[in-house]
Structure 1
Amino acid sequence: MFEDKILTCRDCGAEFTFSASEQEFYAEKGFTNEPGRCPECRAARKAQNRNNGGYNSRPQREMFPATCANCGKETTVPFQPTGDRPVYCRECYQPSTRNSNW
């Protein structure tokens, strides 16, 4: 069904084999494009992305100042408090979530 193919790496220009088993794997996963990089360049790119935060890294979350409704401690929360609901610091919030029936 599948036969080995020789492809050229878009980064380094080296030829590499896209094996029949790799093609079968790609087909099973629904991938429609052949790999554009050789295994060495793919590994180097993955390592670089890991070191630089990668494609899936989240932007830094904006934090807002708040005062805990339970203990009065100044804290920060990842949403803009509106005053219509109580806001808790990490220490006061954790026990309340463990005891809830959610």
Structure 2
Amino acid sequence: MDKTLVCKDCGSEFIFSEQEQAFYAEKGFQNEPARCLPCRKARKQQSGNRGNAGRSGGDRQYYTVNCSSCGAETQVPFKPTGVRPVYCRDCYTNSR
């Protein structure tokens, strides 16, 4: 049976359908959703903008280094520590 819940962000009522309840049970979720769909989407978008720059396509910091194999200048999306070699795209592809 469908349940009517109240969104903790906007205070509006929303339906927690029987199908959604079955999905939550299948996934092993212990709690019912606390937010309506629009608030869940807005919250997900906000959290995506904070720390998932690589996944969301946001601004990502690149570091300029010299390739350990050919010596060409390249940029990498991580800060090299100097412990492991860093390769340009071509050398990395060829080494695989």
TM-score by length of 1: 0.61
Conserved? CA contact 2:64–2:73, under 8 Å: no
Counting matched residue pairs gives 89
Cα offset for 1:92? Answer: 2.7
Shift of 1:8: 0.7
State the shift of 1:48 in Å.
Answer: 4.0
1:66, distance to aligned residue in structure 2 (A)? 3.0
Deviation at 1:87, TM superposition (A): 4.8
Residue ranges of structure 2 left out of the alignment (5+ in a row): 55-59
Residue ranges of structure 1 left out of the alignment (5+ in a row): 98-102
Q: Distance in 2 between matches of 1:39 and 1:87?
A: 43
Which aligned runs of 4 or more in structure 1 are off by greater than 6 angstroms?
none
Instruction: State the 1:15 CA deviation.
Output: 1.2
Look up the match of 1:37: 35
RMSD of aligned Cα (Å):
3.0
Which residue identity is paired with 2:69? Answer: A
CA shift digits 1:44-67 (9 cap, x unpaired)? 3334445x25x6x15856736335
**Partner Cα distance (1:48, 1:86) in 2:** 36
Distance 2:9 2:61 in 1: 34
Q: Give the corresponding residue for 1:63.
A: 63
Q: Which residue of 1 aligns with 2:82?
A: 81
% same residue: 51
* Other structure's SS at 1:81 match: coil
Q: Quickly say closer, same or farther: Cα 1:14–1:66, change in 2 above 3 A.
A: same
Q: Deviations over 1:17-70 (max 9, x none)?
A: 2122211111011011101111222233334445x25x6x15856736335433
What is the TM-score when the length of structure 2 is the normalising length?
0.64
User: Which residues of 2 match residues 1-102 of structure 1 at below 5 A?
Assistant: 3-50=1-48, 52-53=49-50, 57=52, 60=60, 63=63, 65-70=65-70, 72-77=71-76, 78=78, 79-82=80-83, 87-97=86-96
Which of structures 1 and 2 has the bigger CA Rg?
A: 1
